[in-house]
Amino acid sequence: MPNQANLETNIIKMNDNKSVDLSTEDLHVWYGENEAIKGVSLEFEENKITSLIGPSGCGKSTYLRSLNRMNDEIESAKVTGKIMYKGIDVNASNVDVYEMRKNIGMVFQRPNPFSKSIYDNITFALKRHGIKDKNTLDEAVETSLKQAALWDQVKDQLNKSALALSGGQQQRLCIARAIALKPDILLLDEPASALDPISTSQVEETLLQLKEEYSIVIVTHNMQQASRISDYTAFFYVGNVIEYDETRKVFTRPKIQATEDYVSGHFG
């Protein structure tokens, strides 16, 4: 198990001139009395994939959910500190959460398509955001399904129920649904954990293509996945980030013993 002394070093930032759209500063999250995130400061570089790794229960999902205020939905949750998105404090009370989530989209662990057609899954939120023009909607459906590497498989059956798709296809549909809104940032919480290896590698391919246009933050338990797809990796341990660096450094030359123990499979 990691040395407690290592847990002091929880503030880690990219300190060169990287382009950063999203960051947190001294972020704390409580569920009632339980402090799940204990002052995490991280910066996410634009057009890169950042993996959040660490043992179960260490706060990865809590942290990820706070980035677009999904914790607002949890009554006992209290968030303090700053979440900065393009100079705006996401956590401020006057932020329009609905609009903000258009820019900071999220994909969950279990594919959760609406019980609607493939076409309607993608256009639902666009319509709620006031887009009515059929050509614009058709185009959004095609573009986002192409970006999510699903278009070729479903283009002739857009009216079919999304629930009739395979798990991997459903997850790519959820990715398409998120990117149809053209977010800047895509948050994904273990998006491939319910998928077979082939669907997993398709989702990974999709993410690698998407980073050309989006900044991606992904929670994963799969060390191979983190090292295959991410540029940066943050290691979470009991509510703190104890190491944050380029992925290849985290996996080959970690600075902290706990990180080395975790990435080499000794605990967690």
φ and ψ of 52, to 5 deg: -110, 120
Q: What are phi and psi of 30, to 5 degrees?
A: -115, 145
Q: Give the nearest distance from C-beta 235 to Mg ion in angstroms.
A: 14
Amino acid at site 58:
C
What are the DSSP calls for 139-156, one per residue? HHHHHHHHHTT-HHHHTT
- Contact call for residue 61 and ligand ATP (CB under 6 A): yes
Q: 206 with 149: CB under 8 angstroms?
A: yes
Structure tokens at 28: 């704390």
Establish if 200 lies at the interface with Mg ion (CB under 5 A): no
Question: 122 contacts which partner out of ligand ATP, Mg ion, none, CB within 5 to 8 A by kind?
Answer: none
Per partner kind, with CB cut-offs from 5 to 8 A, the member of Mg ion, ligand ATP, none near residue 36 is: ligand ATP
Among 24, 51, 61, 225, binds Mg ion (CB under 5 A): 61
Give, for 100, the enclosing helix (H) or strand (E): helix 97-103
Of 86 and 110, CB closest to Mg ion:
110
Tokens 């999510």 correspond to: 148
Q: How far apart are CA 68 and CA 131, in angstroms?
A: 23
The answer to whether 36 contacts ligand ATP (rule: CB under 6 A) is: yes
Q: Please give the structure tokens belonging to residue 83.
A: 């979440």
**60 is an interface residue for ligand ATP by CB under 6 A:** yes
> Judged by CB under 6 A, does residue 69 bind ligand ATP?
no
CB of 234 to ligand ATP, least distance (A): 12
Least CB distance to ligand ATP at residue 231 (A): 21
Half-sphere exposure of 253 (CA within 13 A, CB side): 2
Residue 189: CB minimum distance to ligand ATP, A? 7
The contact pattern for ligand ATP, residues 76-115, with x = CB under 6 A and - = no contact, is: x---------------------------------------
Comparison of 58 and 162: residue with beta carbon closer to ligand ATP: 58
Find all residues with CB under 8 Å of 101, minimum gap 6, and list them.
68, 69
Binding positions for ligand ATP, rule: CB under 6 A: 31, 34, 36, 54, 56-62, 74, 76
